Each structure stands twice: as structure tokens, then as C-alpha cells.
Structure 1
């Protein structure tokens, strides 16, 4: 048996093995309590006393041994039952603590999951917004291209009008906005090839 348990058992019952210093006689643990008087008045009935005398000292001694052993057994059983209750209470407390920790973990994971879901929704919204913006920019590019083509056509028409005025004898109907001058001839714009090896450009080939 562990020394700790022995010391605990002693401390828990130390007061029960002594006498109280109180002078009054209303406590069974008081040093002045009249046990003999109580026995004479309450326990010494003639028939009982005669039965005890008939049994004799040996019989009474054996009876006290049985009673003492039974009291020890009952006392130990009560002690073990109390230890079991305390252990059960401790187990319940540990389980409650473990449950709180798991609930805390569940709460944290739920928060993380909600945050991840929010980020996913935010990313999806950003992708959607980006697509809308790209579509808008694409439409704007087409609009600008159309505006550039329109401005180019208007500029070409103005230049042709000025040529008609300045050079009436010229045949401006042969002018074509989609062609360029290369080697003294009008050719399609896509036919112009820049010779990068010689460092030439379209301007170098226009006469």
C-alpha cells in the first residue's frame, strides 16, 4: 500500500480516535461523557445481561471478533464505493474537458471552412469580374479599331479631295486606301515585306 494512502487514511479519521477537550457531556467524543451511566440506563436489561453471562467470555469475545470483522468489511466497502464515485466524477470531468476541446476544435475548423468558402466565392467573383472587364475591354478595342479605321478613311478622303483641287488633271479614282507605294507601284498593304537584313523599311521602298 502506498504511504500516501496510509497517511491520508490516518488524517481522515484522526479526530474519531481521540477525545474532545470540551467539558460538556453532550458529545460521545467528549472526555466527560458518562458511557457507564448510559449503559446502565439504556443497555443493561436483566434478560440481556443474563444471556451474556450464559454465553460466557469466550462466546462474547468471538462475537466481538465477528462484529469487528464485519464492521471492517462494511467500512472498507464504503471507502471503495466512495473512491469509485470520486473516480467516476473525475472521469466525467476529464470527458467534459475533452468534449470542450473537441467542440473548440470543431468551431475553429468551421471558421476555417467558412473563411475558405468565402475566399473561394471571392475568387470566383473576381474571375467573373475579370471576365466581364475583359469582355468590356475587348468591345472597347473593337470600338477604337472602328474609330481608327473611320478616322483613317476620313483622312484619306480629305487628302484625295485636296489632290483633286490642287491637281485637277490627276485621276484620283485610282487611289486606294488599302494599298501602298512600293517600287513605283501600288500594291496591297499585306504584300509589303520589310527586309530586316538590310535595315530597310516601307519608307525606303516608297518612291
Structure 2
């Protein structure tokens, strides 16, 4: 791992070592850049030269060592900062990708939930419609039952009226007859008056035509 870092560092800055050919003299990496002229014109101030002479070669060497070490520390700090920035950038990219995946999942779940809600609403509507239909059918059945009872009452009233009319005609045609024994609830079976329910339970006895209907 250390060797890879060394090779990577070399590859990243090997172009900065040495001079470049066929470049303009105004480039610091140019083969013909006049460093000595620049130093004479810009850096060789008399007071500075005097101070450096007074410090001596040893002091100046120590100063250069300190400056070099500081530069190494500063550059290494910059390199680590760049590595952290790249790592943060990668982490941010991964987080963005994860967020996009989560958003996609949320969208899919929301769509699925919307479909479920639509299905629930439709099913609920059908249930309400079915309940309303059941209520309507029950109402119609109740109405029909009430109507049947009314019709049964009307039939009984019509039968009673017809029976009363027949009794009245018997009184006129046969004044000597005792019509008090006539009963609309009885039938004639074997020349005898019997209750309708009793006649239904006795199938061995025959009734006269017109006396009791099956």
C-alpha cells in the first residue's frame, strides 16, 4: 500500500521535475529561464545579503531545513485535505444514489398504496351498493308481505260476503230451513259438517263435489 502511494505521488508530480524543452523563457520550467538574473534584480537587496552573511552558512542551512520541513507539513496537510474532500464527495455521491433509490421505492410504494386505496374505495362502494340493494329488497319483501295480508283479508271479506248472500238466498227460498247451523268455516264431508282442518286430516272420507275443494 505504501509503495502504491509513493508511485502515485511520483506520477502526479513528475512533470514538475526538470526543465522543459522548447518553451518560452518566461516559464519557470523553461530551459532558458534566467533565474540568476531574477535573483540579482529582485532578491539581492544589500540589507538582506548582509543579514544572511551575518547568520552564516550553518544558520542559513538550519533555516532552509525548517522552511523545507514546514513546506512538507503544509503540502502533506493539503494532500490529506484533498483526500478527505474526495472521500466526502464519494460519500455524498453514494448518499445521493441511496436517496434516489429510497425515493424510487417510496414512489413505487405510494403508487401501490394509491391502487390499494382505489380498490378499497371501489370495494366499499360495491358493499354500500349491495347493502342498499339488500335494504331495497327487504323493503319490497315487507311491502309484498303486507300486500299479501291485505289480499288475504280481502279474499276472506269477499268469501264472507258471498257466504252471507248465499245464506240470505236460502232464507228466501227455504223459509222453514234453520240457517243458524250454517258456518262458513266448515265443510260437508259424508253428509256431515266438519271443520276444514279436521277434513284435511281425514283423507279416507269423501266430500261431495262443490262441498270441499282440495
Shared fold by TM > 0.5?
Answer: yes
Question: CA separation in 2, counterparts of 1:64 and 1:38?
Answer: 20
Equivalent-residue separation in structure 1 for 2:114 and 2:198 (angstroms): 62
8 Å contact kept, 2:18–2:29: yes
Alignment of 1:32-71 (within 5 A): 32-71=32-71
Residue 186 of structure 1 is aligned with which of 175, 182, 196? 196
Aligned pair 1:89/2:89, yes or no? yes
CA distance in 1, matches of 2:184, 2:117: 66
Matches within 5 A, 1:1-207: 1-141=1-141, 174=184, 186-187=196-197
1:17-73 deviations in Å (ceiling 9; x for gaps) = 132212420100011111112112222223322332333322222221111111101
Spell out, residue by residue over 1:161-183, the C-alpha distance to the aligned partner (whole angstroms, 9 max, x if none): 9xxxxxxx9xxx8489xx9x9xx
Between the aligned partners of 1:3 and 1:148, the Cα distance in structure 2 is 106
Gap change, CA 1:8 and 1:57, over 3 Å in 2: same
Measure, in 1, the Cα distance between the counterparts of 2:99 and 2:23. 54
- Normalising by structure 1, report the TM-score: 0.65
- Flag structure 2 segments of 5+ consecutive residues without an equivalent: 163-169, 171-182, 202-212
Q: Distance in 2 between matches of 1:109 and 1:126?
A: 25
Residues 114-135 of structure 1 show CA distances to partners (whole Å, capped at 9, x for unaligned) of 3322222222211111111223
TM-score by length of 2: 0.63
Query: Which deviations, in whole Å up to 9, do the C-alpha atoms of 1:66-105 show, x marking residues without a partner?
Result: 1111110111111112222222232233333333333333
Q: Deviations over 1:165-206 (max 9, x none)?
A: xxxx9xxx8489xx9x9xx983289x77xxxxxxxxxxxxx9
Instruction: After TM superposition, give the deviation of residue 12 of structure 1 in Å.
Output: 1.8
Cα distance between partner residues in 2 of 1:44 and 1:188 = 150
Structure 1 vs Structure 2 CA RMSD: 3.9
